[in-house]
């Protein structure tokens, strides 16, 4: 009987894509997906290290798995991804029943590593070099690019796909662990990306989201001329079958006019731009080593609004960063009020061992103050979301149907008509009733009601 695997994913879209690619490799190796952890012979936790809460979730999950491992000693438990690269042997010390620790740069080896464990060669740990563990070329080589051929059955939705166009990050923001756990910035060859998207289109994929830690830093220098993200978008736009193109996450300094022109001129490119600001205070931005000022961020936003008046712009913010005063926090509130982002992802600062902020600065903002600032900024953003969604009432929007909503999934499976969920071209969530067979189609939906998070409508 085939071995069964289960992958639990924590973290960003990069991790979601990594889990899909590992699942595809395991399917090719003869494994079968399990419906739950308890049905699996191999349990893989794909981890995140951006915030302490994400790591705490993984260690809690490992604690719960110990009881299962005690009852089924032949079961394999693996920790993959960013936390594996960051903590390495600490994971085996805290959870000695773990069989596999594998970093993001070694995910392509997972089937072979599992075969070694099956041959009683475990536990096994495979990670990349530390950023200071060699010259740039050797460190980059240790973070091997993970771009296996796609397996349609491993993709959560056959009509949507994420495609990584670059790996790693060289920005070294003082709060961020990503450059250490994801390695140096490396862009994939453009032709390789085009071919991957073409194959996805042949498999019925309608929407592709291009991924990079700073996606608008992309550049393929291997040919006679450097290919940047706008050039890549023009090439992908010509692929038959693809209906929508998105790209995340953008770095403010690299939001060039030619990229905005590509979004404006290419009908398949969604007018949706995620551009994290992180703070509205220049003093905080300097401590974060973000490399831009509030004034330059506002200038970038002004260019976006001028060239793409209908674009949805979203952002990230960290509250309670080291030394953040009340005045500096209020500058962030003012930036959010004036910028009117479609939505913002707001987080309390969490010190990350191995980052410059943890080394240089004291985490001196009390937890209660962080929590209060988080709630205050979220309330400001939520009010903007509600106000800006109201003009959609009475409008017809184009929606890519993703499938039954969370509400519908709680109902009986036999319902002929269920509440479906999808996204507009500007990445707003819309729900409406219809048969499940509409999943994967792009439909006109008339919006009849809106709150701060969702548009409610009917198929027009």
Q: What is the pLDDT along the chain (460 residues), one digit of tens a residue?
A: 779 999 999 999 999 999 999 999 999 999 999 999 999 999 999 999 999 999 999 999 999 999 999 999 999 999 999 999 999 999 999 999 999 999 999 999 999 999 999 998 779 999 999 999 999 999 999 999 999 999 988 998 999 999 999 999 999 999 999 999 999 999 999 999 999 999 999 999 999 999 999 999 999 999 899 999 999 999 999 999 999 999 999 999 999 999 999 999 999 999 999 999 999 999 999 999 999 999 999 999 999 999 999 999 999 999 999 999 999 999 999 999 999 999 999 999 999 999 999 999 999 999 999 999 999 999 999 999 999 999 999 999 999 999 999 887 766 555 578 999 999 999 999 999 999 999 999 999 999 999 999 999 999 9
d(CA 78, CA 100): 4
Rounded Cα distance, 75 and 37, in Å: 11
Q: What pLDDT, on the 0 to 100 scale, is given for residue 408? A: 78
Helix 257-265 to helix 229-237 angle (10° resolution) is 10
Kindly state which CATH superfamily the domain 4-141 is placed in.
Answer: Methylthiotransferase, N-terminal domain (3.40.50.12160)
Q: What is the DSSP string of 77-140?
A: EEEEEHHHHHHTHHHHHH-TT--EEE-GGGGGGHHHHHHHHHTT--SEEE-PPPTTSS-HHHHH
Q: How many residues in total does the chain contain?
A: 460
- Please, which residues have CB within 8 angstroms of residue 302's CB and are 6 or more apart in sequence? none
Task: Give the residue extent of every domain in the chain.
Answer: 4-141, 143-389, 393-459
Closest CA to 82 of 189, 177, 223: 177
Of the candidates 279, 152, 211, the one whose C-alpha atom is nearest the C-alpha of residue 12 is 211
Is 143-389's fold the same as 393-459's?
no
- Give the pairing of strands 160-164 and 207-211: parallel
* Dihedral angle over CA of 329, 331, 333, 339, nearest 10: -150
- Over its C-alpha atoms, the chain yields an Rg (Å, rounded) of 23
Reading phi first (left if > 0) and then psi (alpha if -120 to 50, else beta), residue 172 is in left
pLDDT at position 413: 55
Neighbours of 406 (CB within 10 A): 9
Distance CA(239)–CA(160), nearest Å, equals 15
Taking residue 438's Cβ as centre, other Cβ atoms within 10 Å add up to: 19
Question: In the CATH scheme, what is the homologous superfamily, with its name and number, of domain 393-459?
Answer: Nucleic acid-binding proteins (2.40.50.140)
The CA-CA-CA angle for residues 407, 409, 412, to 5°, reads 110
Instruction: State the virtual CA torsion across 395, 401, 405, 411 in degrees, nearest 10.
Output: 110
Candidates 73, 61, 127; CA nearest to 99 is 73
- CATH, range 143-389: 3.80.30.20
């Amino acid at each position: 009987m085939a071995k069964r695997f289960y992958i639990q994913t924590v973290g960003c879209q990069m991790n979601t894509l990594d889990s899909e690619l590992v699942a595809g490799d395991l399917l090719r190796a003869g494994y079968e997906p399990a419906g739950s952890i308890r049905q699996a012979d191999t349990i893989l936790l794909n981890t995140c290290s951006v915030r302490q809460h994400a790591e705490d979730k993984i260690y809690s999950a490992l604690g719960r798995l110990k009881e299962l491992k005690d009852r089924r000693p032949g079961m394999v438990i693996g920790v993959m991804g960013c936390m594996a690269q960051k903590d390495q042997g600490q994971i085996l010390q805290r959870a000695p029943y773990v069989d596999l620790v594998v970093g993001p740069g070694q995910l392509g080896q997972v089937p072979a590593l599992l075969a070694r464990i099956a041959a009683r060669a475990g536990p096994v740990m495979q990670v990349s070099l530390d950023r200071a563990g060699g010259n740039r070329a050797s460190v980059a080589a240790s973070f091997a690019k993970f771009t296996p051929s796609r397996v349609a059955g491993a993709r959560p939705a056959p009509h949507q796909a994420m495609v990584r166009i670059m790996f790693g990050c060289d920005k070294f923001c003082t709060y961020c662990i990503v450059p250490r756990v994801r390695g140096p910035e490396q862009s994939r060859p453009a032709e390789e990306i085009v071919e991957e998207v073409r194959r996805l289109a042949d498999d019925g994929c309608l929407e592709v989201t291009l991924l990079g830690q700073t996606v608008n830093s992309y550049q393929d220098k291997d040919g006679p001329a450097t290919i940047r993200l706008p050039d890549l978008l023009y090439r992908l736009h010509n692929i038959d079958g693809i209906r929508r193109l998105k790209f995340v996450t953008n770095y403010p300094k690299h939001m060039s006019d030619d990229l905005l022109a590509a979004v404006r001129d290419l009908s398949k490119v969604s007018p949706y731009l995620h551009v994290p600001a992180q703070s509205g205070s220049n003093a905080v931005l300097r401590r974060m080593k973000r490399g831009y000022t509030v004034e330059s961020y506002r200038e970038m936003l002004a260019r976006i609004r001028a060239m793409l008046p209908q674009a949805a712009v979203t952002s990230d913010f960290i509250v309670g960063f080291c030394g953040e005063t009340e005045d500096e926090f209020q500058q962030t509130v003012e930036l959010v009020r004036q910028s009117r982002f479609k939505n913002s992802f707001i987080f309390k600062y969490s010190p990350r061992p191995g980052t410059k902020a943890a080394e240089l600065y004291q985490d001196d903002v009390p937890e209660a103050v962080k929590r209060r600032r988080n709630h205050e900024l979220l309330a400001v953003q939520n009010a903007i979301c509600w106000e800006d969604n109201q003009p959609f009432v009475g409008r017809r929007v184009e929606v890519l149907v993703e499938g039954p909503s969370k509400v519908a999934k709680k109902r009986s499976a036999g319902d002929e008509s269920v509440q479906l969920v999808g996204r507009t071209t500007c990445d707003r969530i819309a729900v409406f009733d219809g048969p499940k067979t509409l999943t994967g189609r792009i439909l006109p939906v008339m919006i009849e009601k809106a709150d701060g998070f969702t548009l409610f409508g009917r198929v027009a």
